[in-house]
Structure 1
Amino acid sequence: MDATNDILLGKWHELKGHVREQWGKLTDDDLTQLSGKTEELSGVLQQRYGYDKAKAETEINNWLSKH
């Protein structure tokens, strides 16, 4: 997920609104704390949505491929 992480880090300010649209259970505080870190986003998705790690990573990758 290194390439994915690089994409999120580089474009976090542009993408965080889209992240919020995709995963509405994430709070503004979550988005601020994440700062584009894929591993942390995966962890928050696991907490908020009950995903396992593989499901969270798949969701992130699928979402990124659309953006």
Structure 2
Amino acid sequence: MDWNRVEGNWKQFKGKIKEQWGKLTDDDLDQIAGKRDQLEGKIQERYGLAKDRATREVDDWYSRQDDW
């Protein structure tokens, strides 16, 4: 699976993202609209993480999305 599938199915993934990163608001998720770099940026902002840590967390989450 590539990230384009996440973008294309963003409405379905929003719930999974919210489960993983509960500090992200619905407005955040609407703004992100499936864009990986924006997701990483919002995670950095909301959780106070370094960029490489946010990237790793998104990578880890993404690797667990086998059912797509």
TM-score w.r.t. the length of structure 1 is 0.87
The Cα shift of 1:17 comes to 0.4
* Correspondence for 2:21: 23
CA RMSD, Structure 1 to Structure 2 (Å) = 1.4
The Cα of 1:9 is off from its aligned counterpart by 1.0
Name segments (4+ residues, structure 1) moved above 3 Å.
none
Q: Contact between 1:4 and 1:61, CA under 8 Å: does it hold in 2?
A: no
Instruction: Report if aligned partners of 1:4, 1:38 keep a CA contact under 8 Å in 2.
Output: no
Q: Distance in 2 between matches of 1:13 and 1:44?
A: 17
* Residue ranges of structure 2 left out of the alignment (5+ in a row): none
Identity between Structure 1 and Structure 2 (%): 45
5+ residue gaps, structure 1, are none
User: Do structure 1's residue 39 and structure 2's residue 2 form an aligned pair?
Assistant: no
Paired positions, count: 65
